[in-house]
Structure formats: structure tokens, C-alpha cells
Structure 1
């Protein structure tokens, strides 16, 4: 009517025509609206029962006071009492700075466009900030429909208890897909980071927890909750770390939405008729949840955690330097004692030298007297005591032998050329197929050539590391950027209850704990470098111990092992930037490398001439990684893949067993089957003779049993984590070979020195504790993100590191100890002739 009065005042007396017609139509519209709608001054907490149709619209006016210091939530609840209405009821809430509208019944869509109808709808109104200390706000709730029939409904507007969450205070509530809930949290003074935790006692229905800035509208329905902010799907647990710097208003909303279906949380995918127009029964999807906001750790905990991590691994450097100084001092004292022997008379010295000369031949390979060997093995513990070794433990070779060795060491003969020499090629089959082999039989090639051959391992793995790591780093940075931009925290499988962000990184502690691999790998490289320098000095002095005794010293594989350990730390850190299904192979690729290199090093110790070349070894490891990728992508539930892989696994085991048993002296050609049948006939059927190489046969039989069992397990169970299954195959074979090596070493009359024995025992204990923490399983990408979060656990070390971080600590120490075992386990043979060291 006010609008009609304003138009009437504008008309001149006697005005006719179009203006009069427009005025009349406007007056008629206003009169119809006044007759059609009615306004009610409503009260909070009162349930209004009414009926609405196309001719009748009801407006409910609410008035309440909003204080700046205390925010009260307002919730609108509508229940449709009429069954199967022909038209929906439209509810519009008009606020001062926002408008919220929804229809009842509410239609929500699920997977494959399935539609679910809800007749009860509850929505919380957003609360725009107030400008004064206290402000009186008026808002309206309009209820209307286009149905010509009356539709009965119930309406209630109420205040939300505990709308503003308090720190360390748990609040319980109930939510459904059509009645989501959200609450406000304000950062208290002195708190810059908090962890919002939502828990439920029941697994399903599937829910979504979201963190959004204080703004209108609030996205609190299943079909729009992922539009802004950060969000996670959840079954029983969800946790999001929130930082003050991301919210200029120093406050945010915690929103919980129950999804219409459970597939996103790993629930059963039921069969539904794919009829887009048919409304599905939503069932009872009510869920009771608890929300609590706790302060996260402060900067002091970050600093202390980093100092703790650096301190642990730098202490190994201190211990190494201390042990080296003690060893150097002890060797210096022993050298002085050997130069000035107080307890050995000149007559005894002459007697010892005479016995050595009597028992040594002029050009015997490894010309080393038995008595001298016994004496030196007791008196000499390190190759660096060169002068003492020459004086008491070793005999000078004849000038003819020394000249020949120097000529060989200075030659430019390549390995392939050396193999074609008559004195080598003519007896290669004879030497390698003897019943009892010694290291001298398989250490006949030029040392300089072999050293270059094994250095290729290091340069190849360094090249592989560069080309492998750079794309990985680029990819995980992209992953982290996507998580930060989209807010979708289902992309990465963190332990969200112990994920401490730093800058753009979501879980800094999981990255920091990988530092041990890098620092200990570098320390191992330095130890190997020192050993190589000592060995080269001994060779330069023509030291007999270095030239003719002990296991041949080739350091290329050790350098490759140390580099692989460092790369494992780098790639594991990259994986933990955003751990998920698609990049798990980053964390395992160099584990395959480490396992393969350790087996090659064990084999090289007793077979230096016939070990695999770097190109062959890395080609085989590339094949392993290739199958790892195929298994991750196609292996889940694919019977054909598992059959092919099991067949290849078994055939590869048989071929490798044959190669090891015959020391490489067999040919894979068209006549291999004929030769196999002939050997079985002549050796097993005709003569009933046992295997010629009993020890090798025992190892290979056990290896085949283990590998065939693993192949059968994979074919039957078909584990989802194919990468870990493949890694388990490599570790089982490594452990089997290592146990065989130790047993055969003791059977051969050799001994393990005190330091190596301590390393073995220490490493075994550390591996036991490490595996305990590894199998805690704080997250798993084999399941949905919501199911993975069910395994999340709080930090257990310094409020900064979780179980998986402790696995990183312990496993890096255990790997370092394992490398030291490989480096030192044959130190007892440094004073033993190579023709007295057995091959096994």
C-alpha cells in the first residue's frame, strides 16, 4: 500500500492513459499479495504447525540480540507432514547480510545420479560479524509453495547450544544428510595452530568433516561441502590441523555432513536400479559424533624434535671418529712394539723367518707360509700395519714374482681380453667346476680391471638416482600444491593425529625422520673411502697382505650401497610429502636396489671374477621395478597377472639356481633341455650319484622352496600391496643367503671378529624393534582414506614423532649396521692366503 501511495502522489490531476493503467495493475498486485501472505512474529524454540498452498504464504519474523563476544547459532528445522506432495515447499531465510533457501522434501544425489528424498530438513544459519558490541538482528523465514493443495508442515527455529567450540572441550551432536551441523571456533590468544578431531563410535554412515572460513553462505550439504576449505571423509575418525595464518578472522567453522551413500568410505556397493527419476529410500542415516579442538605443538617442540633427530645420527659420526682414533692409537702402539720387540729374541726372530723361507715356494700364488699365516693372524689385525706385517707376518716375494705382479698391475689389459688368454680360457671350465674351490681360483683377473668393473655400479646408480629423483620431487611438489589449493585431504594418506605442518608441507615430521638414511648413508661412504685409501696405500707399498691375502678388496659395490641408502632417504621423504596409492613405488624402488646390491656383494666376496656386471644387475632390478609398477596398477584382483608373474618368478628362480650351481659354466640355448635330460639320466638314474656340490645344492634347494612358496602365496592370496610383496621376496632371499654365508663361514673353520659379531647382534635387535613399529600400520593406501584414518594414532615420541617415524629411525640404523656387517664380517681373513679361503 505504501508503494501505491507513492505512485498516486506522482500523478497529476486528471491524468489518464498508460500511467493510470500501470498504477491500477500495481495496486491490484499489492492487494493480491496482502491477501495472499501473512506475517507472524515468531518465537525461538516454539514449533509452529501450519499449512501452505499456492494461495497462502506465511512469513515468520524473528528478532534476537547478537553480541560480539558471544556468538549464538540459530537453527531452522522444517518437517513435512503431508505424504507425497505434488510440489515441494520452498523455505527462504532472509538475513541482514545473507539469504538461505532450501526445498522440502530435499533431494540429494548419490553415486550414478541416484536420488534420495528427505522430508525433514535442518539448517544452521551463518552468523555474519557484528560491528558493535551488541546488535539487534531481525530475520524472516518465508514458507511458500506452488501446490494448489494444502501442504502441512512443522517449523521450529531454535538457538544452538555450544555453537562456539571451546579448546579441549568435547561436544556431542547428531547429524543426518539433510540435517548437517557446524560450529564456530575462535583462536584463543597464544594459540596459532590447533587440531580439530571428530570421532564416532559407529563406522557408517560415511561422513565428511570440513573446515571453512567465516563467510556466507556455508557449504554444508553433501553436494557442495567440497567447494571451499579443507575436508576429509570419515568413518570413525577425522583430524585436520588448522593454522591461524590461513584464517584472517582468527576463527573458522567446523562442518560435519553425513553422506547419502557409503561408497566413498569403503562401504558395500549395493545394487540399485539405475533409474534416474526413481527416488531411493535413504533409510536411517543418523550419526552421533564428538568434536574436540586441541592446541597443536608450538615452535619449541619443532626445534627440539629437529635437534633430537640430528643429534641421534650425528652421534654415529662422533662414535666413528672416536673408534678410528682409538684404533689408530692402538695400531701405532702395536707398530712400535713390533719394530722394537722386547719379548722376542734375535734367535727366535731368525727361527721364524727361517721357517717361513723353508715353506714358501718362489712364485707360489699368494706366497705365504703356513707358520707366517698363523703368526700374522694372531698378531696382525689391520692392513695398515704394513712394515710390521713384512717383518713378522709375511715373507718378501722373490724379485721375479714381484716384477710379474707389478707388470700385471701396470698393464692395460681389459677384462674380456684377459679371459681369452690361453692360460685362463683353457682351464676355465676345469677350475670353476672343481669339487672344492678356493678364492684364488675365482680371483685370477687383473685387479685394476675388476676395480673399474665394480666402480661402474656406483656411477650407474648415481646416474639412476638423478634421473629418478628429479621427476619424483617435481611430482610430489605438485601433489602437495593440489592438496593445499583444493583442500582435499583425501589425496594423501597421513597419520593426521600426528602430522605437523611446516610451511606448505603437511607432515614435516614424517619427512624429517628420513634424515637418518641420508646421514648414515653418507657416513658409510666415508668409512668405505677410508678403507679404500688404506688399501691403496698398502698396494702402493706392495704389501703382501693386500696383494695376496684375504677377500679381494673391491669397493664399487659398497659405494653403490651407500648411495642407495641415501637415495632411499630422499625418495622416502618425497613419498611422505603426500603418501598415496600412485607414488608408493617411490618408497620401495631403492629398497629393491639395496636388497639386490647386498646379495651381489655377498656373492662377490667369494666369486670376484664371475659376479654380474653392473649393466646386467641394474637391468634385472629395472625388471623388478617394472613388475612392481604393473602389480600396483593391474595386480589387484587380476588373476591373469598373478599367473604370469608366478610363472616368471619360478622360471627366473630356476635359471638363477642353475647359473649359481654351475658357476656360470652353462649355456642357455636350444640344446639345454637335451643336456638336462642327459645329466638326469647319467647322474641320477644310471649311477644314482648325489650332487657334486652339496653345499650349493642345499642353498639352492632351500631358495627354491622359499621362492616357490612365495609364488604360491601370491597366486592364492593375491595381496593388494604388490610392492611390499615383491620387496618381501627380495628380503627373504637376502636373509636366506646371508644365513647360508654365516653358516658356511663357520663350517669352513673361519671366525667372526668381535666388532663384526657385535654389529650382527646389534643389527638383529634393531631390526626386531624396527619391524615392530613398522607393522603398527598407522595408515594404509590399500583402503579408502576414511578407512585409513581409522588406524591413525597420536604421537608417541617427544609429541612430535609417531610410530612410523620411529621405524624410519630404527630401520636407517639397522641398514647402516647391516652394511657394516657386510664390510667387516671377513676381516678375520685379511691375513689368510686366498688359496686357503673356501668358496661357497
Structure 2
């Protein structure tokens, strides 16, 4: 009962310190001495201690020492107070307990200090250094007392060394670098006060040494300060670091207009990607901490202001809206050119009085009126009913010998587009429109959970303060509202705007083509590549979704949501290849369901590769076998124009063809051009499969995307070569698009391979690649990749759209299939 009463008196004493001033601060240690004496302590010694004086002393369970310090705290000047302790005795049965009692806080620690690492491994430290928190004071100048109590339960004497010193450079200055040393048992923290007119700053901590691993934390001005490896993540914002750490701090998050910058050296390096040392886990084993001292530099710089945000947004909008303006001007010029051409035709024919031209609507009206005259100028030798392409689907596909007839047509040595454009246009248009509706449905059901998930990610980052969750370029991550890196999200706007512009261009062409069909124009019915726009609509939608999902990914880029950024890249590559194939093979192109099923399988393997592919030999063997078999089966299907069934007997039939045609008769391939393409395709894909099996790249998603891009480029190059080889030409607009797109792709890939961050490594290792903004102090290299790649994709789509415009007046039975 006596001890409880004394304890209650001591607690009441401490609670009254703030009201009674320094007199009570001096009186409280007396109560502590009385309580300790009544509880069995023999000797309690209180000393008036001085700053910057080293005290060597011995403590036992029978004697305890209280060191009393006083210092003046000023409202206009903040200085730190650091307590340094070293245990001089080599071994002690019990640790020495140090309790530092301040006006508004109590700090306690033991020597030797035991810090726990991975798998509960314990590390012992006999030298400690702790900086005392400095709560703000309202008085101009105030004298405050604090006490350092030293005690132990060891009956043998334990020798220690105590030193309390002032930290003159405790407050960080803007744009001034400050260097210091830290260890796991001697963390450091400093104070920064926002200057007038500065609302956002970037705190950067750098080191020349990768290891030991460290943690940089931003904490509010309050006591206690969490500055040990086992508690630094309890409050504020924090991130691990090897050589670089950077956190953007906003004034609105700190009511006191100031914050602490805390740097802690970790006991182990596994969090930063260091080697994992194996130790047998024994309950009472203490491991040697070794020399884990680290020299670091800290600098606090003002971040960008609101004007830079506005300039960045205007720049982004200006770039992509200029494409809208350019497209509009080109459309006006093209309309005027057609108006002038039609005016000349009307004057020469004398059948229709000249019109006043200048608008697109009048152009369409005049074109309708001179339709009969245009028909007389066409060199089309057959009417719609005499052409093979006019055969109705129902009149053809319901015949009993349909399969044999298709085999006869498609196995001709030289095929023309008219041979593979025999189905009804209305049926084919509906078939290809399914591509658009399916991808629109996929986009809705894919995007909604993605948006919900990334909002949750961003909320977790903001609430927990864990900056290791998201892999930003922290040296160029500009926050806006709840978003941590607004610039990486804004730069994806180009995909959406240019995708929408491409849809508008396709819609305009679709409308013109439908009007031409309604007028039964021979050029629309019998000439050129058959116009089916469903795949174009799907491509434009995929480009817009790529922008949306890339923006979602960059809300919090990390290991678990990488597929948001890559899924529609696979779809874009696949749709472009399908469109290239559809141009010359409109009747036998893949259905939307089978195409999207194959793309879903690709995305499925992408996820498996990231999760299980790293260092997994079995996975790479299985993937390589599937890759090679898929290439062989697809090659066979393409070579025989879809006339081979993909069933269990296909391998037997392939071996039979090889034996009869190549071994017994030594005859060359019937379709030389197709064989060249497929042989090159197989060589490329087998080489990529071998590379993956041997090298096993860590970034499986990029490896898979590289396979898709290589096949697309190979097929595109083959198409261009065969087009020129067949006597066709590339018009000026398409040629300009090809050259422009190639140049932009080159620059885009340069910025892509800068590699400012990577989720394949630890967050600390990823930050080693972080770099400053390079455009308008707002955009980094990856933002420029977003700008250029969106423009390059838009240009690539235009190439596909305009590449065969030279064939619009060429009869389909004169257009070769390749």
C-alpha cells in the first residue's frame, strides 16, 4: 500500500509539472528517491550535470544515479539535445536501464540494446545515441529541466559512460546539404520548418554506399520520435533506401508547419535486396551486429508550384489537341481537292451544271449526281452480278460441295482478293463488328475493378505512409490531391485522345463507304481491299483503354498490378496482326471469340510468368514447348489458308506432307511467298523461345510483349515488301505516316529503356534508378515515353488505315493475296 501511494504521488507530480514550472521539476526527483528507497534501493545519487561533459560511472542494484540537466528553449531557435551512452563492462548479467524524463515526454532504453531482425534473430549493441524530441514552446525563452536516471538489477558493478551534448545544426535549411553518420543503435533526426511561400518540399537523402540498408521517415513534431528499426514504421511516411530516398512533403499535412526527418540504419539488409545470411535460430543466441555505420546527406528543396502544374497540363493538352487541328485541316484540304476535281469532271461532261463547292456535304451531293458518269469512266469489266465477290453467303455456303469448292479456290497457286472475298458483305461486317462490341464489354468489366483496386492502393499508401508499396520515380513524382504521382497519370492522356481521334477518322471513312454502297458504286463494290471497319474500331478502343489502364497502373505501380499496363498492349499487337491478315483474307480471318480467347491465354501466361517464372526451370520448359507448338500449328493454318483442321491428327498429317512432298519427291513449296514468311516467323519465334529458356529474363511480361511486337513487325515488313513486289505503290500520305511513325517509335523506345524504376527489384533498389524531371520540371523520361508511344501507336494505326488506299480503284481480281 505504501508503494502504491508513493507511485500515485509520483504520477501526480509529473502531471503537475507543466503547471508548476521548474520548482516541481526539481521536487519530483525527490519523490522518486523516496519511492526507490522505500522499495529496497540503498543509495540514490542525484547530480547536477553539464552539457558536453563525459561521465564515467558504475551502477549496481544497490545504487542508482540521476543526472539533472537544464537548458534554455527559445521559440525562435531550435537546438537538439543528444544523449550518448556506452557500456564499458565487457559482460553484465543484467542490462543497464536509462530513463530520460523531459517536460512532455519520457524516453527509456537499455544497454546493451537488443534489436531483432529477420526470423527473430537478435543483435546486440553496446553503444547508443539518441536525440531527444523538442516539443514547441509558446514562450520567447524558457528554462527546462530534464533528468537521466541510470539503474540496473545487476548485483555486480556495471561501468558505463554518459555524455549529453547540444546539436547546433538541428534545423535543416532549404537547399543546403547536411552530412551525418548513423548506425542501428545511433539513429539521427532533424527538424525542418516550412519557409514563407513554400507549400511543398522534396526531402532527399543520399549515400555513397549501397549498404547497410536504411530507412528515411518523415514524422510530425511530437513526442516520442520513432527512431529505431523496430518502430520507425509506426507513424508518418517512410521508405527504405540504399543510395537514394526522396519523399515529397506538403505543408497541409503538418499543422505545425514543420516536421522531423528521421534516418535509421536497419539491423539487416534483406529489405534492400542484400544477401540473406543463414544462421541457426537459437532462442538465446546474440549475433554480432558488425560495423553498420553509414554516412548520409540530406537536402530539402522546394517542389514545383501551381504554375508548373498548369503549364504541364496545358502542354499535354496542346500536343494532342494539335493532332485534332491537323486532322481537321487535312480533311478540309482533301475536300477542296476533291471539289476541284469533280468540278472539272462536270465541266467536261456537260451533263450537270457546275455547283458551288466548298463543304463536305455538297461534295457528297455532287458525287451522287454524277454517279452515272463515274460509272462510264471506270474500267470495270464486270457487273456486280457477274463478279465472284457478289455471290451471296446463303447461295454459296449452303451448297453440298461447298468444302470442296473452297479447297479448289484456296489452293490455287496465285490467289487474288476476289477469291477470298466471296462471302456476303453484310454478314462479314456483323462478324467484324463483334470485335468492337467484345472489346468494349471486356473494357468495362476489366476497368471497373481495376479502378477500385488502385483507389484502394492509393488509400493504403496515404493512410499507412508506406512509400515502399508503389514504385514511383520519387525524384519526379508530383502529387495532386490524393494522387502521389499526378504527372505519370496525366501523360497517359494522349492514348485516350488519340484513340478517340482514330475512332472519329474510322467513323468518317465508314460513313463514306456506306453511302457509296447505298449508291451501288462499282469502286466500293468491286474495287480495292474490302472495307470492314470492326477491327479498326476495336483498335481505337484498345488504344483508349491502354491509356486508362496505364493511368490506373501509374496510380501505384508495383508487382501485383503490372498486368493493368500490359494487357491491352497484347490486345493492340494481336488486333494489328489480325487487321493485316484481314486485308487480303477477309473471308477466313479468325472470329472475335477465338481471337480474344487466344489473347486471354497470352495474358494468363503473362501472369503465370511473373508469379512463377523467376528461376523456375519447369515453367520455362513448358512455356517454350507451348510457344514452339503454337507457332507450328499457326504456320500450318496460315500456309493452307485455313483448310487444315486443327485436331489431334494434325501432327500426323504434317509429317505425311513433309515425307511425301519434301523427302520422296523433293518438290519445292507450292506457295513460295507464304513459305518464306512462315519460315522466317518460325526462326524468330524459335530463337525467342531458346533465348527465354537459356536467359530466363526476370521481366516475363516485357519478354512476352517483345514476342508479340517482333511477330507484328515481321509480318508488317513482309506485307510492305510483298505489296511493292506485286507492283502496288504506297501513296504519299501512307508513306509520310510510315516514316513519321518509325522515327517516333525510335525516340519512344529510347526513353522507355531509361528504366527509372522497376518492380522486379526491391523498392530501395528501384529508387537507385530514379532521376530528376527533364521536361518543364514536370515530366520525366517515362512521361515522354507515354507521349511518344501514344503518338507512334496512333501513327501505326493510320498506316494500317491508309496503306492500301492506292488500290481503291483497282479491281479485286487484280489484287494479289500474300
Match of 1:504 in 2: 482
Structure 2 matches for 1:354-365, cutoff 5 A? none
Q: CA deviation at 1:384?
A: 9.8
Instruction: State the alpha-carbon separation in 2 of the partners of residues 656 and 271 from structure 1.
Output: 49
CA offset at residue 393 of structure 1? 6.9
Taking the TM superposition and a 5 Å limit, the aligned residue runs for 1:93-172 are 93-172=100-179
Whole-angstrom distance in 2 between the partners of 1:628 and 1:419? 39
- SS of residue in 2 equivalent to 1:85: coil
Alignment equivalent of 1:292, drawn from 271, 294, 299: 299
The change in CA–CA distance for 1:407 and 1:711 in structure 2 (over 3 A counts) is: closer
Note closer, same or farther for the CA distance 1:574–1:652 as it changes in structure 2 (3 Å cut). same
Corresponding residue for 2:331?
Answer: 324
Residue 664 of structure 1 corresponds to which residue in structure 2?
Answer: 642
Change (3 A) 1:386 1:686: farther
Question: What is the alpha-carbon distance in structure 2 between the residues aligned to residue 772 and residue 508 of structure 1?
Answer: 23
**1:764 is matched with which residue?**
742
Partners of 1:113 and 1:426 lie apart in 2 by 75
In the TM superposition, what whole-angstrom CA distance separates every residue of 1:341-367 from its partner, at most 9, and x where no partner exists? Answer: 3xx999xxxxxxxxxxxxxxxxxxxxx
Could you tell me which of 63, 77, 80 is aligned with 2:84?
77
Pair 1:231 & 2:213 matched:
no
After the TM superposition, which residues 235-246 of structure 1 pair with which residues of structure 2 at under 5 Å, given as runs?
235-246=242-253
Say whether 1:275 aligns with 2:282.
Answer: yes
Q: CA deviation at 1:172?
A: 0.3
Equivalent residue number for residue 18 of structure 1:
none
Change (3 A) 1:164 1:812: same
Q: Say yes or no: does 1:447 pair with 2:454.
A: no
CA distance in 2, matches of 1:454, 1:255: 60
Equivalent of residue 421 in structure 1, options 399, 408, 418: 399
Shift of 1:419: 2.3
Taking the aligned partners of 1:694 and 1:488, their CA distance within structure 2 comes to 60
Are the structure 2 counterparts of residues 345 and 99 from structure 1 closer, same or farther at C-alpha, using a change threshold of 3 Å? Answer: closer
2:234 partner SS: coil
Of 332, 339, 358, the residue aligned with 2:346 is 339
Counterpart of 1:578 in structure 2 is 556
Deviations 1:257-306 (A, max 9, x none): 00000000000011112113100000000000000000000111101100
**Which moves more between the two structures, 418-427 or 764-773?**
418-427
Contact 1:122–1:180 (8 Å) recurs in 2? yes
Q: For the Cα contact (< 8 Å) 1:87–1:147, is it kept in 2?
A: yes
Partner of 1:209: 216
Alignment partner of 2:653: what SS?
A: helix
Instruction: Please say if 1:705 is aligned against 2:712.
Output: no
Which residue in the other structure is 1:391 paired with? 373
SS of 1:633's partner is: helix
Query: CA 1:382 to 1:752, structure 2 compared with 1: closer, same or farther past 3 Å?
Result: farther
Offset of 1:398 from its aligned partner? 11
Q: Deviations over 1:547-597 (max 9, x none)?
A: 100000000000000000000000000000000000001100000000000
Counterpart pick for 1:64 among 71, 89, 95: 71
Secondary structure of the corresponding residue to residue 704 of structure 2: helix
Question: TM-score of the superposition, structure 2-length normalised?
Answer: 0.92
Q: How many angstroms apart in 2 are the aligned matches of 1:324 and 1:282?
A: 73
Which of 668-677 and 596-605 deviates more? 668-677
Matching residue of 1:218: 225
Partner residue of 1:676?
Answer: 654
- Distance across 2 between alignment mates of 1:644 and 1:128: 62
> Structure 1 29/89 Cα, relative in aligned 2: closer, same or farther at 3 Å?
closer
Alpha-carbon spacing, 1:311–1:345, altered in 2? closer, same or farther (3 Å): closer
Is 2:637 aligned against 1:630?
Answer: no
| 1:696 counterpart (674, 683, 703) | 674
Displacement of 1:31: 7.9
* Helix, strand or coil at the partner of 1:771: helix
Deviations 1:422-463 (A, max 9, x none): 575442101101110000000010011100000000000000
**What do residues 360-415 of structure 1 show as CA deviations (whole Å, max 9, x unaligned)?**
xxxxxxxxxxxxxxxxxxxxx99995666753575579999457899979x7x56x
Query: 2:268 aligns to what?
Result: 261
The separation in 2 between residues aligned to 1:405 and 1:672, in whole angstroms, is: 35
Name the structure 1 match of 2:313.
306
8 Å contact 1:172–1:291 — kept in the other structure? yes
Structure 1: distance between partners of 2:366 and 2:657:
49
Aligned position for 1:460: 438
Q: Does 1:540 align with 2:511?
A: no
Structure-2 residue corresponding to 1:514: 492
Equivalent residue number for residue 43 of structure 2: 36
Structure (1 or 2) with the larger CA radius of gyration: 1
Q: Say if 1:805 and 1:673 are closer, same or farther in 2 by CA, change over 3 A.
A: closer
CA separation of 1:703 and 1:386: change in aligned 2, threshold 3 A:
farther
Shift of the alpha carbon at 1:677?
Answer: 3.4
Secondary structure of the 1:735 match is helix
Give the one of 706, 715, 734 matched to 2:693: 715
Listed as ranges, the gaps of 5+ residues in structure 2 are: 10-32, 352-362
Q: Tell me how far apart the structure 2 counterparts of residues 542 and 821 of structure 1 sit (CA, whole Å).
A: 28
Counterparts of 2:453 and 2:792, CA distance in 1 = 29
State the partner residue of 1:377: none
Structure 1 residue 421, shift from structure 2 partner: 2.9
Q: Distance in 2 between matches of 1:102 and 1:777?
A: 43
CA distance in 2, matches of 1:819, 1:685: 43
CA offsets, 1:453-482, max 9 Å, x none? 000000000000000010100000000000
RMSD, aligned CA: 2.4
Output one character per residue of 1:689-716: Cα deviation in whole Å (capped at 9) or x when no partner.
1111111001000000110111111111
Quick one: structure 1 residues 767 and 387, their matched pair in 2 at CA, closer, same or farther if it must change by over 3 Å?
farther
Give the counterpart of 1:173 among 168, 180, 199: 180
Q: Could you say which residue in structure 2 is the equivalent of 1:531?
A: 509
Question: Cα–Cα, structure 1 residues 102 and 560, in superposed 2: closer, same or farther, change >3 Å?
Answer: same
Per-residue CA distance 1:782-813 (angstroms, 9 max, x = gap):
00000000000000000000000000000000
The equivalent of 1:45 in structure 2 is 52
SS at match of 2:89: coil
CA distance in 2, matches of 1:238, 1:326: 54
- How far the C-alpha of 1:686 sits from its partner, in A, is 2.1
Provide the TM-score with structure 1 as the length reference. 0.90
Conserved in 1, the CA contact under 8 Å of 2:44 and 2:66?
Answer: yes
Work out whether 1:819 is the aligned partner of 2:801: no
- Contact persistence 1:383–1:538 (CA under 8 A): no
> Structure 1 pair 583/670, CA: closer, same or farther in 2 (3 Å)?
closer
Q: Is the contact between residue 384 and residue 538 of structure 1 (CA under 8 Å) also seen in structure 2?
A: no
- 3-state SS in 2 of match to 1:427: helix
Tell me the secondary structure at the aligned position of residue 242 of structure 1. strand
Between the aligned partners of 1:215 and 1:818, the Cα distance in structure 2 is: 57
Question: Cα distance, 1:420 vs. partner?
Answer: 2.8
Partner of 1:373: none
SS at match of 1:325: helix
Compute the displacement of 1:141 (Å).
0.8
**Distance in structure 2 (CA, Å) of the matches to 1:47 and 1:198:** 31
Deviations 1:311-337 (A, max 9, x none): 100000000001001100110011001
SS state at 2:233 partner: coil
In structure 1, stretches of 5+ residues that fail to align are 8-25, 347-380
* Residue 726 of structure 2 is aligned to residue 744 of structure 1: no
Contact conserved, 1:394 with 1:544, CA < 8 A, in 2? no
Does structure 1 residue 655 correspond to structure 2 residue 633? yes
- 1:248 equivalent to 2:230? Answer no
Question: Helix, strand or coil: the match of 2:532?
Answer: coil
